[in-house]
């Protein structure tokens, strides 16, 4: 497989520009003037990043910073899902999807002046692999990675022990963004705090004050941006100042008063304040796994498939979107979001059907108890859900789900934990339901999460039919072969209620009158190369 012609790339770039405009409720109108270099964008994020090294973290707050610091081997068109050149101007994929050869463009350098060459790419990928579980996303992308070979100074071959068709898309993510060899002379902890964080991206790290702010500065001489970017050369902004503001009301008030240029994580209740009056909102649903109740099928009442299916039928997804969220949020229609390549519409299978839920429970011998919660052989129909407040509306959504499930006699108990505690509980398998979403613009995120050879959050036995479908979609980059396998995987997850999809997370970013072209890349992370401010 090779990259596209220059004419095709131009068409892709135009399509991406139109798509980004379409998913915005009013970015950079004609009255905004022409883009001009200079100035600082002051942008609020909702939590203190646990790490600013793009190769390590998995949270939006961290990745919205890290994306600006590194370039990737490839890029992904947000509109079509197509993989396009970036640091690599062409590539070949082995017939069995176990080898990927990238031909690097010339002239790209890291911020320490060293070249982005094949040896640097090898050092970077070996470094991500060495991080192990600390590479929260990259470790899954590189699970079967074995080695990199420097074919010549501008050509590198990456080899895998098993078919890894997903890797081509993974190569477009910031989690596999390339760092300079000198970065690996620092520890992983040092890089998390910006020390030695040397990328080839359009911005460079300047400072990180815990629970206060992170400052990035424009990279001088940058001239190797993705063809999907809207302009060539350096970024427009002199600086990006990320203000860490956990309280949604403070973010809203600061933007309304002009103390901020833009804010991420606009809450549904605040969206109307940024519609008009010089403000704009940019929105994009996250691709990947939607927010869901993920069942551990080895725990408590969730060992009973009919109980899990009843829970799925009792969830009123439209009520969740209409009551707790906003029109920017879609009810889930599959375990994958609609923006994910090879998504399958399973809305009929996920229809709200409380009567059907009651019939399943009646047939299973679950009878109403004195408090309305069903019982069977002295056991209450109850399960806990472990969650963290990484999305501000999580608790409100779960409280509504709790009410919905109580109507069929199911007691959903809420267990709020910190993000770190939730990760520990997940890794230990000590949960009944997990509440989470995972962002990735490729269906292989299902393998990473459900396969018994990977995350296996459902704790399924090896050799089950879902494993076979997940392996098949990973075996080839040919969409004609991948699509049926990806569809089968989505169907099996929904039909067996290994996870109960609820809603698609949407990124909602509000900008003030002076901030323009705050955009998203394919994984719905911020892409600020084309962003500019008025009056710079």
What pLDDT digit, counting tens, does each position of 298-353 carry? Answer: 999 999 999 999 999 999 999 999 999 999 999 999 999 999 999 999 999 999 99
Is the confidence at residue 276, as pLDDT, over 50?
yes
The pLDDT, as a whole number, for residue 219 is: 98
Strands 145-152 and 155-160: antiparallel
The pLDDT, as a whole number, for residue 2 is: 40
CA distances from 39 to 28, 238, 243, 299 (A): 16, 5, 16, 55
The pLDDT, as a whole number, for residue 15 is: 34
Nearest of 67, 43, 65 to residue 243 by alpha carbon: 43
Q: Residue range 43-68: average pLDDT? A: 93
Q: What is the residue-wise DSSP string for 265-285?
A: ---GGGGGGGSBTTBEEEEEE
The pLDDT, as a whole number, for residue 50 is: 82
Task: Give strand pairing partners of 316.
Answer: none
- Min mean pLDDT across 273-277, 399-403, 496-500 is at 273-277
Q: Residue range 60-78: average pLDDT? A: 95
- Min mean pLDDT across 82-91, 123-132, 135-144, 309-318 is at 135-144
The pLDDT, as a whole number, for residue 60 is: 86
Is the confidence at residue 19, as pLDDT, over 60?
no
Residue 453: both structure tokens together: 């050879």
- What pLDDT, in 10s, does the model give residues 424-472? 999 999 999 999 999 999 999 999 899 999 899 999 999 999 999 999 9
- For residues 276 and 271, give the distance between their C-alpha atoms in angstroms, rounded to a whole number: 11
The pLDDT, as a whole number, for residue 536 is: 65
Is the confidence at residue 144, as pLDDT, over 90?
yes
Q: Residue range 382-407: average pLDDT? A: 95
The pLDDT, as a whole number, for residue 409 is: 98
* pTM recorded for the entire structure: 0.85
The pLDDT, as a whole number, for residue 203 is: 98
The pLDDT, as a whole number, for residue 331 is: 98
The pLDDT, as a whole number, for residue 330 is: 97
């Amino acid at each position: 497989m090779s990259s596209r012609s220059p004419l095709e790339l131009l068409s892709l770039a135009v399509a991406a520009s139109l798509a980004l405009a379409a998913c915005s409720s009013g970015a950079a109108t004609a009255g905004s003037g022409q883009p001009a270099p200079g100035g600082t964008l002051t942008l609020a994020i909702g939590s203190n990043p646990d790490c600013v090294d793009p190769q390590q973290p998995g949270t939006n707050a961290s990745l919205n910073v890290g994306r600006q610091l590194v370039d990737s081997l490839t890029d992904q068109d947000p509109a079509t899902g197509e993989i396009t050149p970036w640091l690599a101007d062409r590539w070949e994929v082995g017939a069995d999807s176990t080898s990927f050869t990238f031909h690097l463009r010339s002239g790209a350098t890291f911020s320490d002046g060293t070249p982005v060459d094949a040896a640097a790419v090898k050092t970077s990928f070996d470094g991500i692999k060495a991080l192990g579980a600390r590479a929260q996303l990259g470790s899954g992308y590189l699970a079967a990675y074995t080695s990199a070979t420097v074919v010549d100074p501008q050509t590198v071959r990456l080899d895998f022990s098993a078919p890894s068709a997903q890797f081509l898309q993974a190569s477009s993510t910031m989690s596999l963004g390339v760092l300079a060899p000198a970065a690996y002379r620092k520890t992983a902890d040092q890089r998390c705090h910006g020390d030695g964080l040397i990328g080839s991206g359009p911005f460079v790290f300047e400072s990180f004050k815990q629970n206060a702010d992170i400052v990035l500065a424009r990279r001088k001489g940058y001239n190797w941006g993705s063809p999907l970017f809207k302009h060539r050369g350096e970024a427009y902004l002199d600086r990006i100042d990320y203000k860490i503001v956990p309280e949604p009301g403070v973010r809203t008030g600061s933007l309304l008063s002009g103390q901020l240029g833009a804010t991420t994580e606009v809450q549904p209740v605040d969206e109307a304040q940024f519609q008009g009056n010089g403000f704009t909102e940019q929105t994009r649903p996250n691709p990947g796994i939607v927010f869901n109740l993920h069942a551990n099928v080895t725990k408590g009442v969730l060992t009973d498939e009919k109980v899990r299916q009843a829970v799925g039928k009792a969830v009123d997804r439209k009520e969740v979107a209409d009551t707790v969220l906003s029109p920017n949020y879609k009810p889930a229609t599959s375990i994958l979001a609609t923006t994910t390549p090879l998504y399958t519409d399973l809305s009929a299978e996920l229809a709200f059907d409380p009567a059907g839920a009651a019939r399943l429970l009646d047939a299973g011998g679950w009878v109403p108890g004195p408090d309305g919660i069903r019982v069977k052989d002295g056991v209450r129909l109850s399960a806990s859900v472990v969650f963290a407040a990484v999305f501000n509306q999580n608790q409100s959504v779960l409280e509504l789900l709790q009410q919905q499930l109580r109507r069929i006699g199911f007691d959903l108990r809420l267990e709020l934990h910190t993000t770190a505690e939730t990760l520990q509980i997940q890794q230990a398998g000590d949960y009944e339901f997990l509440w989470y979403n995972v962002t990735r613009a490729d269906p292989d995120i299902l393998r990473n999460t459900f396969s018994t050879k990977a995350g296996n959050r459902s704790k399924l036995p090896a050799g089950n039919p879902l494993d076979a479908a997940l392996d098949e979609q990973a075996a080839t980059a040919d969409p004609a072969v991948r699509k049926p396998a990806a569809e089968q995987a989505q169907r099996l997850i929904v039909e067996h209620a290994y996870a109960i999809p609820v809603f698609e997370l949407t990124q909602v970013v509000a900008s003030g009158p002076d901030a323009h072209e705050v955009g998203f890349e394919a994984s719905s992370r911020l892409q600020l190369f084309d962003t500019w401010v008025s009056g710079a």
